[in-house]
Structure 1
C-alpha cells in the first residue's frame, strides 16, 4: 500500500490580511510544491487529521479525537461549504479497528469541519470532494488534553489500519505550530462566552463576522507589536519539525500541556495533528521527509511549517 504525508500549518487569516508581496510569492511557491507532491502521488484515499476552533466541536461534548463517518464544510473564513466525499464503510472499519487496538476512538455520523480541516484540502486539491477522505478530528484548543502518548498511540493504530488498505493513502496533518490567537479559554471566559463554548453552533452571519474581525484585528495588532498574545517561537517550532523528520515521535511524549502553552502558546496543541499523522506514517513503515519549509509569520499569527514525506523502500 503506497502512502505519503503532507503536514502543514493553516491560518484563517490567509486572504484576510495583507502580507508583503515577497512573502505571498514565497508561500505560493511552497503551496505549489505541496500541490505537485500530491498530484504526483495521486492518492485514492485521504486521512485528514485536523483540529477545530469551536465551530464544529464544543464543550457540550468534547472528545480528544473523533472519526467522521460523513463530513461537511462549515464555511468559516469563506472556506468551502458542502459535503466531503467520505467512504463511510471504510471510516466505520477504521473506527472498529482502532477501538480493537484499545484506543477509545469516538465517531461522528455527520462531522462539521471548519477551516482547520478544509483549508489544506482547498490548497492541495482545489476542493473538499475531489478525493475520498476520512476526517479525523484531533482536539487542539479545548483543555484538558490527553497526554501526548495517547495521541501517538491513536495515530499508530490508524496507521496499522491504513497499511492493510488497497489504496494510495495520503495522510494530511493540519495545524500548529507555535501560535496564540485570541481563542477563548474556559478558565478565563465570561458567562456569555462560556455559553458559546458549550454550544455555539449555527452562529448568525453577524456573530460569525464579528468573531472573524476580532481575529483579523488581533493579527494587525500583532504585526504592529501591540497585541497581548504570546509571541511565536521559531526555535520550538523547528525543534518539533526536526523530531518529526528524525522519527523521534516518541520523544514528543515529553511535551506537557503547561510547557507547551508557556513556550509556544495556547493553540500550539494543534501540533497533535502532526503527532497523529507522523505516528500513523511511522506505523505504516519507515519514511523520509522530502521537503520542508518554515517561517514565522506574524501576519498569520503562526509559526508556519510545511513538510512532505514518502515511505522508504
Structure 2
C-alpha cells in the first residue's frame, strides 16, 4: 500500500466548544483511530486538500485551485503558526501534471493557510511541519465556484501523478460536511466586510482576529441552544455523500450545483470539494475500501462532522 487517505471535517471550535462527555469521548476516539492509521502508514509525503476562510485567499485574486510550493500557517483559532515542510520540486511536479491534464490552477511560493488546512496535520502528527506536505487549496467559500466535475478531474490528475512517485503518500482531505457558519458573503457584505473579503484589512491585528473568532464561538453557542440564525445541519445529505465517496464512483456528484448544495447543506458545504478531490485522487491509484467511518452532526461545532480512513485494495 503506497497511497492512503484520511478525510476529515475540521472545526475552529474544537478547543472552544463545551461538548457533552459522550460526544467528546466519541470524537476523541475517532481522532485516535485516524492518528494510529497515520502512524502505521508512516507517510513519506502528505498531500493536503483543503479550503481557506479569507485568511490566505481573498477576492483581490481568488483562484479555484492553487498548489503551494511553499506555505505557512497564519495560526488562527490557536492553531500552530509558522512554516510547513513543503518539498518544492514535488509540488511543482504535481502542478505541472495537473496542468498537462487540462486543469487550470494557480501556484504560490508564499501560500498562507488557516485552520482549514493545518488542523488535521496537528491532530495527526502533533506538528504541522512533521512531514513533507504539498498543500492544495480549493476555493470553497467565495462564489463563483468551479463545477464539481473539475474538482473530480483535479483529484484524478493528482492521483495519477502520485501513483508514479513510489513514495508512501497520505492524502488528507479537510472540510465540510454540512455547515453554515457566520462567514461573510460578497452578495450581502457590509462595506467593512467587503474590505475583509478583499484582504484590505491586512495585516490583521491580534485584537481584530480575536474579535472575529469570538463571533464564531458565540454563534456556535447560540446554534447549540437553538437560537442562532444560521442554516441547520443536513445529516441525510452528509451520509449520502459519504456513501457515494465510499462506493468508488464519484461521477454522480458532477451534477451537483453550488446553489443546491448551499440550499440543502449550508453555504460552507462547498468544503466537501476537498473530500471529492482526495477520494478521486485515491481512486486514480486503484480500487479502494473505507476502513473506518465516523459521522455525527455536532451543533456545538456547527458541523456535520465526519472522518474516514481509506486504503487501496
> TM class, shorter-chain normalised?
over 0.9
5+ long unaligned stretches in structure 1: none
Q: d(CA) in 1 for partners of 2:249 and 2:204?
A: 41
Spell out, residue by residue over 1:193-219, the C-alpha distance to the aligned partner (whole angstroms, 9 max, x if none).
101100143211111011001100000
Spell out, residue by residue over 1:163-182, the C-alpha distance to the aligned partner (whole angstroms, 9 max, x if none).
10020000000000000000
Are 2:12 and 1:12 aligned? Answer: yes
Question: Is the Cα contact below 8 Å between 1:56 and 1:201 reproduced in 2?
Answer: no
Q: Under a length normalisation based on structure 2, what TM-score does the superposition of the two structures give?
A: 0.98
How far is 1:33 from its partner?
Answer: 0.3
In structure 2, the residue corresponding to 1:146 is in which secondary structure? coil
Q: d(CA) in 2 for partners of 1:17 and 1:146?
A: 33
Runs of 4+ deviating beyond 3 Å: none
Q: Under a length normalisation based on structure 1, what TM-score does the superposition of the two structures give?
A: 0.98
Corresponding position of 1:214: 215
Q: d(CA) in 1 for partners of 2:45 and 2:189?
A: 40
Question: Is the Cα contact below 8 Å between 1:55 and 1:201 reproduced in 2?
Answer: no
Matches within 5 A, 1:11-90: 11-90=11-90
Matches within 5 A, 1:110-129: 110-129=110-129
Q: d(CA) in 2 for partners of 1:257 and 1:82?
A: 33
Spell out, residue by residue over 1:266-308, the C-alpha distance to the aligned partner (whole angstroms, 9 max, x if none).
0000000001100111011111110000000000000000001
Corresponding position of 1:105: 105
Q: d(CA) in 2 for partners of 1:192 and 1:211?
A: 12
Are 2:148 and 1:148 aligned? Answer: yes
In structure 2, the residue corresponding to 1:266 is in which secondary structure? coil
Spell out, residue by residue over 1:219-249, the C-alpha distance to the aligned partner (whole angstroms, 9 max, x if none).
0000111011000000000000000001121
Question: Is the Cα contact below 8 Å between 1:14 and 1:300 reproduced in 2?
Answer: yes
Spell out, residue by residue over 1:69-121, the C-alpha distance to the aligned partner (whole angstroms, 9 max, x if none).
00111100010111111000111111111111111121000111100011000
In structure 2, the residue corresponding to 1:166 is in which secondary structure? coil
Q: d(CA) in 2 for partners of 1:102 and 1:201?
A: 34
5+ long unaligned stretches in structure 2: none
Q: Which region of structure 1 is more displaced relative to structure 2, 198-207 or 224-233?
A: 198-207
Q: d(CA) in 1 for partners of 2:203 and 2:19?
A: 31
Q: d(CA) in 2 for partners of 1:232 and 1:201?
A: 32
Corresponding position of 2:190: 190
Q: d(CA) in 2 for partners of 1:18 and 1:147?
A: 37
Q: d(CA) in 2 for partners of 1:276 and 1:234?
A: 21
Q: d(CA) in 1 for partners of 2:66 and 2:126?
A: 25
In structure 2, the residue corresponding to 1:303 is in which secondary structure? strand
Corresponding position of 2:311: 310
Q: d(CA) in 1 for partners of 2:171 and 2:302?
A: 25
Corresponding position of 1:239: 240
Matches within 5 A, 1:263-282: 263-282=264-283
Aligned residues: 312
Q: d(CA) in 2 for partners of 1:149 and 1:67?
A: 19
Q: d(CA) in 2 for partners of 1:260 and 1:166?
A: 37
